[in-house]
Amino acid sequence: VSGKEARLARLVEPILPGLEQMRVAMIAQLSEDSGAVRDMTDHIARFHGKQLRGSLLMLVAKAHGVYTEEHPTVAAIVELIHLATLVHDDVLDGAEVRRRVACVNERWDNQIAVLLGDFLYARAFGLSTELSSRLCSRLLSDTTRRLCVGEIEQSTLRYDFELDQKHYERIAAAKTGTLYAAACELGVRYPGGDVESGTAMRAFGEEIGLAFQIIDDCLDVVGDQEVVGKSVGNDVDDGKVTLPVLRTYALADEPTRARIRDAYTLPEIEDRRGALREVCDLGPGTDYALARADELVGRALGRLRDLPASPAREALEGIGEFVLERRW
Ligand code: FPP
Ligand code: MG
């Protein structure tokens, strides 16, 4: 266990029983009579994510004093949807490794991964019908829609080196921020709180999620695959021009810009990420992106200001810091 993992484990102490219930609920949904499916669900159980979204959901509820016995189930639904999106995302990205384990598309194939993602998604929504309130399914169906729109937009904007930062952030907020936002909103609103009570926590979640995605995008271009634990360089291979590269491109002279475009597009290049790192200095662009992630987390933490002091509130603050220090 790395120091960071131990730190995260300490942060989630206020919700330890809830996390255990959440995991039990997830495992129950992964079970299936088919031996073939069982092999696959056993495999993805090894992904052992950080489960930040489910944790945030329960911590937000605790910090507001509105935690119910249904919150762990809601958290399990969020985590199952997250898992479904990752299995699909690895197909889109042609990724090989996630959380140090072979991706489903790699261990089996794309067909299987698409179907398994659908299976997980169906299980998540099946579980949401067991809840006493429809708020969870309503909010999460809207979230999944937005998340898909973000992915579709991102796909249509590949190889766009002039994409402005606002547009990039809108897409990152849609594909990653929305699920964090929904988790935090559900934390405070579930089972029936009004929209207003969720607004601040929604914004908190979106900012944390956007910061997470920006750091993820930095790691994809400058991170070490061994440390990150998942395939890196996918964005360059797929033509996704993310904030550290957009910023580097914007600051570069025309010959360097041409070399950046070449690194993304010349057919003979095998290691595109390596080529990109050779033709330009990604340092300032990455620093800029990391500073932006910092600013977003700062803004998010400001939204916790009026909450009474509690271990849960402290944990929310700690998770914000944790996201910034993420190197994997
Ligand atoms: C990770 O991005 C991807 C997402 C946060 C969302 C992916 C969503 C879909 C593919 C839609 C799936 C829809 C349903 C209904 C299941 P990334 O590639 O930047 O991050 P990574 O480095 O973790 O791969
Ligand atoms: Mg991906």
For the CA of 92, the nearest atom of ligand 1:
10
Determine the pLDDT at residue 327.
Answer: 67
CA of 220 to the centre of ligand 2 (A): 9
Substitution site in 82, 89, 123 for ligand 1 pocket (most atoms within 8 Å of beta carbon): 89
Least distant ligand from the CA of 223: 1
Q: Are 179 and 82 in contact (CB under 8 A)?
A: yes
User: Partners of 101 in the beta sheet?
Assistant: 98
- Report the C-alpha gap between 261 and 165 in whole angstroms: 18
Calculate the alpha carbon distances from 74 to 46, 82, 131, 315 in Å: 22, 12, 8, 19
Calculate the alpha carbon distances from 221 to 41, 161, 266, 271, 278 in Å: 30, 15, 18, 12, 12
Calculate the alpha carbon distances from 9 to 184, 315, 319 in Å: 19, 10, 11
Per-residue H/E/C for 95-106: CCEECCEECHHH
CA of 314 to the centre of ligand 2 (A): 31
The ranges of the chain with pLDDT < 50 are: none
Residue in this structure with the two tokens 């398994």, named with its chain if needed? 116
Determine the pLDDT at residue 231.
Answer: 82
CA of 66 to the centre of ligand 2 (A): 34
Residues near ligand 1 (Cβ within 6 A): 84-85, 88-89, 92-93, 95, 117, 121, 144, 147-148, 151, 175-176, 216, 230
φ/ψ of residue 270, rounded to 5: -95, -50
Residue nearest to atom 22 of ligand 1 (CA): 216
CA of 31 to the centre of ligand 2 (A): 26
Determine the pLDDT at residue 270.
Answer: 96
Q: What is the pTM of this model?
A: 0.95
- What number of other Cβ atoms are within 10 A of residue 45's Cβ? 14
For the CA of 84, the nearest atom of ligand 1:
16
Residue nearest to atom 9 of ligand 1 (CA): 85
Least distant ligand from the CA of 326: 1
Determine the pLDDT at residue 48.
Answer: 72
Residue nearest to atom 3 of ligand 1 (CA): 89
Determine the pLDDT at residue 328.
Answer: 52
CA of 91 to the centre of ligand 1 (A): 9
Determine the pLDDT at residue 99.
Answer: 83
Dihedral (CA of 196, 198, 199, 201) sign: positive
* Maximal C-alpha separation, the chain: 61
Substitution site in 47, 81, 85, 103 for ligand 1 pocket (most atoms within 8 Å of beta carbon): 85
Determine the pLDDT at residue 1.
Answer: 56
CA of 91 to the centre of ligand 2 (A): 8
Determine the pLDDT at residue 47.
Answer: 79
Least distant ligand from the CA of 216: 1
Substitution site in 175, 206, 323 for ligand 1 pocket (most atoms within 8 Å of beta carbon): 175
Three-state SS at 116: helix
Q: What is the pLDDT of residues 170-227, one digit of tens each?
A: 999 999 999 999 999 999 999 998 898 899 999 999 999 999 999 999 999 999 888 8
